Chains A and B, each alone.
Chain A
Amino acid sequence: MSALPGNLAFDEYGRPFIILRDQDKEKRLTGTDALKSHIMAGRTIATTLRSSLGPKGLDKMMVSSDGDVTVTNDGATILKLMDVDHEIAKLMVQLSQSQDDEIGDGTTGVVVMAGALLEQAETLLDKGIHPIRIADGFEMAAQCAIKRLEQIADHFPIDLNNLEPLIQTAMTTLGSKIVNKCHRQMAEIAVNAVMAVADLEKRDVNFELIKLEGKVGGRLEDTMLVRGVIVDKDFSHPQMPKELKDVKLAILTCPFEPPKPKTKHKLDVTSVEDYHALRKYEQEKFSEMVQQVKDTGATLAICQWGFDDEANHLLLQRNLPAVRWVGGPEIELIAIATGGRIVPRFEEISADKLGYAGRVKELQFGTTKERMLVIEECRNSKAVTIFIRGGNKMIVEEAKRSLHDALCVIRNLVKDDRVVYGGGAAEIACSIAVAEEANKISSLEQYAFRAFAEALEAVPLALAENSGLSPIETLSEVRSRQVKENNPALGVDCMLKGTCDMKEQHVIETLHSKKQQLVLASQLVKMILKIDDIRSANESEGY
């Protein structure tokens, strides 16, 4: 009795030894039990995501704790919104999160991969192999798979004059999302956006320069790329002109109000003279502020704060259109785009700190009085905004997420132009290589190697299953053809186009993303396999 861990130990008189405080109130799992329970949890998460994989994958509807509905296909978003309680399940959530942060795409794939590895690990545990040996074997197999990936990687030419291959790639990423209704258009938008901000010399893309802005209404086809900035604001006075040309912008972070000293102070009005003086000061201050801005030659004032009715009217009177309450990140974006400097004080404003934009206009939507400002033809044309329209809120949000994924993929291609083929082709190629390698190993790890090879097949299996093909048949056919024809570009034909060659179908994934998937998944599994004891405070009443 006392040998069982997790239970209380008793001496020969039947009195318990209390070793840890509140020991009897804690839930504790150890050894194989703990492992099995973890594997269970990990696999459950993976099965949930499995049906979202691939171009024919289905969506999930998430209801938040306040009742808001999100419909999505993006693995990271699903897991983020899932109200997960289990510790290991939380690890899986973080796994897809880190893939999202690092790469931005393949978030579903990495979880499915980890789930498959866990499933294989369970069978190996049943065979009586020690978890650490399994973990080591997986690690070695992952190295082997990555080596194979590098062998089969192709170079993907990036040429500003020929964007076609890039657009094809973007279309692959968007294929699994709801936006594939206007597939080509979205792909072009994504490619053009990245190319506009990309620094091909340094092979870097600054994502801060690409803004995704959504507005419910219209249809997906109305989505457009604006080479400039869109701000969800309107001019401060209804009678200011709705369209400006050759604009010089003054970007202010100080309010059009009498100055406030930072130190605490009191101003006492004790006599009539004081009162008059104060009144005069106030009036002068307002016109002085407007004059200062006007003197620099600015034709538009963008202000982070609000302004008083009086200042507002003075601005109108002096023909100086203004926008108020523009948020911090937007102000920065405007400053970058127009090449202006953010001015924190009226005294510091000068002509060389102004930004320049070719056109600023107000857009109006539908029957409601909603307006947005578009700042176009800026000095620094690098900042772009993708403006998404859609039939309802969920579609706009989902389109935003999908485009973000596509942007990430293209960015990764710009950063590293080596690619592998998608549609499960890379996984099958790795699986073959790992299985071959397995036979050369004389130790226990051979089993782990073989298991890894089988786990790699989970992705093409799920792809085939989601596309309505018979999974095992398809997989075995593709596998044998890969070996026979020695062509690592053969994958699962999800779109039923009649060819398995992913090169022809333009199904491409970046090498970096695939590598990251394998590494992250095997690391997570290794970590889970190493846990043999879990203790948690027993939950509140009722459990």
Chain B
Amino acid sequence: MVSLNPVRILRNEAEEERAETARLSSFVGAIAVGDLVKSTLGPKGMDKILVAHGRSAGQVEITNDGATILKAIGVDNPAAKILVDMSRVQDDEVGDGTTSVTVLAAELLREAEKLIEQKIHPQIIIAGWRRATQIALASLEKASVDNSGDPEKFHEDLLNIARTTLSSKILSQNKEYFANLAVEAVVRLKGSGDLSAIQVIKKLGGCMEDSFLDDGFLLDKKPGLHQPKRIEKARILIANTPMDTDKIKVFGSRVRVDAVSKIAELELAEKEKMKDKVNKIVNHNINVFINRQLIYNYPEQLFADAGVMAIEHADFAGIERLALVTGGEIVSTFDHPEMVKLGHCDLVEEVMIGEDTLLRFGGVPLGEACTVVIRGATQQILDEAERSLHDALCVLAATVRETRTVYGGGCSEMLMANAINDEAARTPGKEAVAMEAFSRALRQLPTAIADNAGYDSAQLVSELRAAHSKGDHTTGLDMEQGVVGCMKDLGITESFVVKRQVLLSASEAAEMILRVDNIIKAAPRRRGPDNRPC
């Protein structure tokens, strides 16, 4: 009979997963992602090798940064995708804590799985979690220290934060050095928090201690031939203008001539035009000219004749930064020299770093920008060092904006977990179970830190918990010694903003995944065979 045929509602290949199956698949996916990055957590966390596929197949990247790892692995599981997205946002927002946020969200879901097994409704778990998040946030805020009133102490705070952030990265062996470097760079910004003013240049060779902070500005470019290599009291014109052949912009124009001689004439006119332009530029009374676009040989020669240093092809970010540093404006027309603001600096010279020559702009009026040069033995080390430094800079910039700090080393997690537990004990109803689960998930973070360092996590975490219950609210894990210690004395400090964002993002994402009871997948789009040569 026809009516016995199954009725197919969805398109062929589209799938629907319901209730328990759906939950299982999202839990499994999220937990797998959490476990993947868990081993990179903490000062003794391990790194991962990522081998690229596709266009840049075979390229190797070694990293410890959660966001970088998650960005590189192609996940298919929808719940895992939510976690990856969340860690990316964490990276964009505060720059650090990308691993912690993923691990916390995954641990929350692991606890949720157990509660679901006990037949507790997801909505009740969510209600409990929300209360737990509120309590955790309140206790975190209470525990935070604000030293912004005391510049010396605040500077010490910044150094501590930088050290803590760097301790889990490749730079940990030179963390003292790099912490100073990062703090100095951020302090130079004078609270503006605009990280684009800090330029990071990577140069292969040397060792990591050879990295340095230059208070001037370095540009990875060379001046043209026969032009001065060293200029004192430089007057700089920063431009974005075509210096090849100035094309006619009127639409539909083209050159049509009836004799070869006319071509020659036109060519001459073109040359004349370029010469005019160069003259106009030189008339600005400058001795350095930096252009974003190409400079052809002819104008280059003209500049050399005028004794002007001309630099071509400075990329857009470089131009913007230069404008920022030297106080000039980016110019595209040259008819009114009196209206153009020129940039100034004391000295432009060529410096050698390793085997490469760079241009150094020393004595810039706005000391806000600076350049960090990173040296290292391999490209991978350089890349990872840059990422680590970027993390540290982001956290420091965030701390300058929001000056409160909390203690690291699992201290604040344990503090929050204990506060939630206390409240759960006083809460009647099923929500209390969910709150306890939340605090268990928070305790997983110090556990992972201890596990990664190869210590007895059960012992350490229980000691930590006992210390906090006694009212010792600065106790944390000392991973150098493998004991429980006072974080205040050890100087392990983290930014309040980062911790808060970790807590909020993780609970938001976990809640979102938990609310799902049905996964409906559309049929994958059919793609034509890939015929491109690769």
Contact = CB atoms under 8 A, between A and B. Distances in A.
A64 interface: yes
Given A219-B504, A395-B512, A65 B522 contact: yes
Given A33-B3, A239-B330, A317-B340, A61 B14 contact: no
A58 B7 contact: no
A237 B257 CA distance: 39
A317 B333 contact: yes
A272 B266 contact: yes
A6 interface: yes
Interface in A40-78: 40-41, 44-45, 48, 51, 56, 58-67, 69, 71, 73, 78
Contact of A178 (B86, B504, B515): B515
B92 interface: yes
Interface stretch (B77-85, B139-147, B295-303, B350-358): B77-85
Contacts of A329: none
Q: Which of B241, B512, B523 counts the most chain A CB atoms within 10 A? A: B512
Interface string A276-310: 10110111001000000000000000000000111
B122 A66 contact: no
Contact of A61 (B11, B248, B516): B516
B516 A58 contact: yes
Contact of B251 (A59, A258, A276): A258
A331 B337 CA distance: 35
A84 B523 CA distance: 10
A48 B123 CA distance: 18
A71 B512 CA distance: 8
A18 interface: no
A25 interface: no
Interface stretch (A333-341, A351-359, A362-370): A362-370
Given A63-B521, A83-B11, A392 B82 contact: yes
A220 B505 CA distance: 10
B248 A278 contact: yes
A275 B268 CA distance: 11
B329 A316 contact: yes
Contact of B512 (A51, A178, A268, A309): A178
Interface residues of A, number: 85
B3 A89 contact: no
Interface string A9-47: 000000000000000000001001100110011001100
B277 to A, nearest CB: 11
A254 interface: no
By DSSP majority rule, is chain B's interface helix, strand, loop, or mixed? mixed
Given A71-B512, A217-B93, A267-B250, A60 B520 contact: yes
A200 interface: no
Contacts of A62: 519-522
Interface string A162-173: 000000000000
Contact of A69 (B82, B122, B523): B82
A96 interface: no
B254 A278 contact: no
A48 B515 contact: no
B333 A313 contact: yes
Interface string B513-534: 1011111111111000000000
Interface in B151-205: 195-196
Nearest to B430: A468
Query: How many B residues touch the partner, as a band?
Result: 35 or more
B523 A65 contact: yes
A238 interface: yes
Contacts of A78: 520
A317 B323 contact: no
A208 B122 CA distance: 37
Nearest to B12: A85
Contact of B519 (A61, A237, A260): A61
Contacts of B14: 82-83, 85
Contacts of B229: none
A36 B93 contact: no
Contacts of B123: 56, 58, 467-468
Nearest to B329: A239
Q: Which of B123, B269, B320, B522 counts the most chain A CB atoms within 10 A? A: B522
A269 B519 contact: no
A181 B137 CA distance: 14
Interface string B227-255: 00000000000001100000011111111
Contacts of A217: 89, 92-93
19 contacts: A48-B16, A59-B516, A63-B78, A65-B524, A71-B515, A82-B14, A82-B520, A85-B8, A85-B11, A238-B320, A266-B252, A270-B255, A272-B262, A275-B248, A308-B249, A314-B332, A367-B95, A367-B397, A394-B82
